[in-house]
Chain A
């Protein structure tokens, strides 16, 4: 119990107490606290266990770079794993617990991992893949590793997206961001200012230095009130800019209700913004670097700036006896702030031989130990002492008793968004940090993000940049030296770089010895920087170690690639409203409700909800399908064919165009007649089919498979606009304008007649494969006499809004014939009985038209068409191509499973395949199983007996003509 609350704090409201639960115990904080500040105020110093060794860990940061305080927030459906305690705003009733510890963070059984640490070094995971056997370790590793627990229930929260268009986006609301926003808005530009924190102000909230002769708080309040008065400035707090994409697109995540008690939340939880801006000004600040020394992960070691933030913003002092280890002046500011907050500063240990700050410290009676660096912290669950020595190396020369060690190792500008935008980085020797160098997009960095750490210089620089001037940066005050470890020094095994992933200096040394010297290889091999903080505290320190080992400057080593997101984003945020029924919206048929009432079992086919079959009474699917098939074969059935694609193609060159699009001839088709069309892609592969009707000399109604209407329309337009620009053709997809009822069966004509039409339905006047226009039940209709079932069949299209009514009409008129609505399953059975091809079932991405019986049609057609040349490439001329055939079952058994392989001739073992079953049904009409298959050289093997094999089961079948039912088509010609 070391952290404590004093009576300060700029962003908490002491009048409003907040109760919360941590690891099953109740605590109290204030409104404005984060979970981290409240835990610290309550003296909780162990907030979690490390990923690999399960070492006790305390908070080291106050912001989004925190690697240790990873928590599971809330329970049940509302649970969110792996939140950073520093980013969780405290609310009444909040429940959280540490991740990765069992049974508790303060006592964790797997902490024995720490004792066997030398047996689980860097790349342990990779090495166990090789020796002795990954599976020996897997269960143990899976249990030990991993952070929080994924929710088991659907996310109860809605999320939404928002597109925005802006002149200037300013990211970050510290002094530089506020100054940039104001200057950018001065000329009337639309400005959006975003801040990830709940409170605007950035570093101003935790600073004591006067700004332009005012206190930081006064300066902030004045700047904000000026900005809020501007109509062209929009300000968003709790909004994280997490990704910088091409052409000025920046993605933001706005947290709308995360800070509210669960029961008070309403509306979207988060909003994902996609802001297209002409210019983005990046004022994101900088992250303080930890210092690597032995024991630097013991709870009580913290970033100096974090301690300063906790003290000034939240009135929380992380310890009572504090040592500050610094290599630059910012550590002194923190020491003074902590002293003012009521802590005893044991000493400031500075690696530099001199600094003007030493005198200031002396005036506060703070002991300054120059030319000294931390060597080793000691302590178990809390720091007890720090030994110090010479920065150049050697043994420790003094031990300081303390409960807290603050490290001020210099600053890394937050170059993430700059780098994501395509900008390059340059290593600054004085600051020992990577700074933004060249920009590719209009995305200048200002303030600490640009390496400008002096507040007033940051402000004037930001104003200049916002006005369009270049940032001029004075030579920065550099940082002092860092104490390095000799390669192989055992103390390096206890000097942490990546706290969350448990990567030490020794791990980097090992990787380097094993030749993983590229920074990207180092990252993957050691997992340095791969934790949920993505190396915000560890990457540059790791590069420093590698640089020292290899004797190469950091610029030559470079950084790993910065990728979005800058900070983790909830998956729900990306999903937005695309969840549940709106993940993939399905189209509904005009007669959907009527079909549901008739027992339709709806399934999704190509984006449409359609009846697979209709349940009558309590019958099962198989019985229903059988009933539906027999109704069509013996009397009449009704099928909703509305999703079939309908594309109007018109123009002087319409026939010529379709002649080039389809395998079949089009030019010689007579007006009023229909023809089956097979379409290939340019690779010669069978792509789509349908029936097209010539409804005028230069006007066609082209049918496509359901779900392909848009794609085929797009393909038509691509050929017309890109390749055959000389053809005069117009195309319109009218699929959803016409509801189509397919009445099929020997009594189809009687039913259509009973419904009422002015079209002459006699066989002579309206034969098979013709098209007529007229009126059906008083409404304009397009009627095609086409058939996929093999029976007399009319496809009657009426304007969509009449579709439901037409369905009812057919059902009423067909009642005396026992009309049965039939679904996709029955239709599929009937087309297999007829041996009709179903693209996507009987074809795959290698099927050419000659494989499905279109060789003779192609031979007869002199003209080129899409894909034609591809079908005669060497592969297309092979004699053993798989061809579509029928299979007759000859072993007396039932249906052969779809996907069953055909064994090579003479073989009874599954060695190699000669093809496979593509369609297979039990035919109610012929009362026997029927199948279709793609078989090597199949059409030359009619009558041959073959064996099929499926999951160990061998069956016998005979290769036959697939047209099992009415092969002459006599039933169509009635």
Chain B
């Protein structure tokens, strides 16, 4: 059970949040120009790393704001929390 530092509300228990999966995924478009492969890439293919994972979470029971989390999938250590729309900060765990 993680303790997630909501950028708006401060540290809160994981049960207040919902994870939206990998972040920084670009939605391809316009729809008429997207081939099947790129669309499948967008819908289904994920990095699933052993190590630091950039994912988006929403503070569902609190401010209901989405934000990004850099979490280590092995240790569950959270290396960074940053806003939606922000680019990935460099954390100690990025090779």
Contact = CB atoms under 8 A, between A and B. Distances in A.
Please determine if A and B sit in direct contact within the complex, based on CB atoms under 8 angstroms apart.
Answer: yes
A870 interface: yes
Contacts of B13: 163, 249, 274, 276
Contacts of A247: 1-3, 76
Contacts of B20: 718, 722
Given A246-B76, A714-B60, A870-B43, A723 B27 contact: yes
Contacts of A682: 43
Interface string B1-23: 11100000000011000001000
A221 interface: no
Nearest to B60: A714
A270 to B, nearest CB: 20
A163 B34 CA distance: 49
Nearest to A163: B13
B1 A874 contact: no
Contacts of A565: none
Contacts of A718: 20, 58, 66
Contacts of A869: 28-29, 31, 34, 39
A144 to B, nearest CB: 40
Interface in A265-286: 274, 276
A473 interface: no
B6 to A, nearest CB: 14
Interface in B8-62: 13-14, 20, 27-31, 34, 36, 39-40, 43, 56, 58, 60
Nearest to A249: B1
Interface in A702-760: 714, 717-718, 721-723, 725
Contacts of A470: none
Question: Which of A246, A249, A717, A722 has the most B CB atoms < 10 Å from its CB?
Answer: A722
Contact of A722 (B60, B64, B66, B75): B66
A874 B75 contact: no
Interface residues of A, number: 25
Q: Which of A163, A246, A725, A868 has the most CB of B within 10 A?
A: A246
Contacts of B28: 869
A276 B3 contact: yes
Contact of A873 (B36, B56, B58, B64): B36
A246 B1 contact: yes
Contacts of B76: 246-247
Given A276-B13, A721-B65, A683 B31 contact: no
Interface string A862-880: 0010001110011000000
B84 A874 contact: no
A440 B75 contact: yes
B85 interface: yes
Contacts of B34: 869
B26 to A, nearest CB: 10
Contacts of B40: 873
B10 to A, nearest CB: 12
A846 to B, nearest CB: 15
A870 B39 CA distance: 8
B29 A248 contact: no
A864 B42 CA distance: 16
Nearest to A684: B43
Given A723-B27, A725-B85, A864-B30, A249 B3 contact: yes
Interface string B69-95: 000000110000000110000000000
Contacts of B85: 725
Given A721-B65, A722-B56, A868-B31, A422 B75 contact: yes
A864 B29 contact: yes
A247 B39 CA distance: 37
Contacts of A868: 31
Contacts of B14: 246
Nearest to A874: B36
Most buried by B among A249, A440, A721, A873: A721
A717 B64 contact: yes
Which one of A422, A718, A723, A869 has the greatest number of beta carbons of chain B within 10 Å? A869
A219 interface: no
Contacts of B39: 869-870, 873
A788 interface: no
Contacts of B58: 714, 717-718, 721
Nearest to A866: B27
B64 to A, nearest CB: 6
A245 interface: yes
Interface string A233-254: 0000000000001111100000
A161 to B, nearest CB: 11
B71 to A, nearest CB: 10
A665 to B, nearest CB: 15
Q: Which of B1, B58, B60 has the most CB of A within 10 A?
A: B1
Interface in A209-259: 245-249
A113 to B, nearest CB: 43
A900 B21 CA distance: 38
Contact of A683 (B29, B43, B64): B43
A377 to B, nearest CB: 47
A438 to B, nearest CB: 11
A714 B40 CA distance: 24
Nearest to B68: A722
A245 B75 CA distance: 11
Given A246-B76, A683-B43, A721 B31 contact: no
B44 to A, nearest CB: 9
Given A721-B65, A722-B84, 15 more contacts: A245-B1, A246-B1, A246-B3, A247-B1, A247-B2, A248-B3, A440-B75, A717-B64, A717-B66, A718-B66, A721-B66, A864-B29, A868-B31, A869-B34, A869-B39
The 7 A-B pairs at the shortest CB distance, nearest first, are namely: A247-B3, A864-B31, A721-B66, A869-B31, A249-B1, A246-B76, A245-B1
11 contacts: A245-B1, A246-B1, A246-B14, A246-B76, A247-B3, A248-B3, A249-B13, A718-B66, A722-B66, A870-B39, A874-B36
Interface of B: 1-3, 13-14, 20, 27-31, 34, 36, 39-40, 43, 56, 58, 60, 64-66, 75-76, 84-85
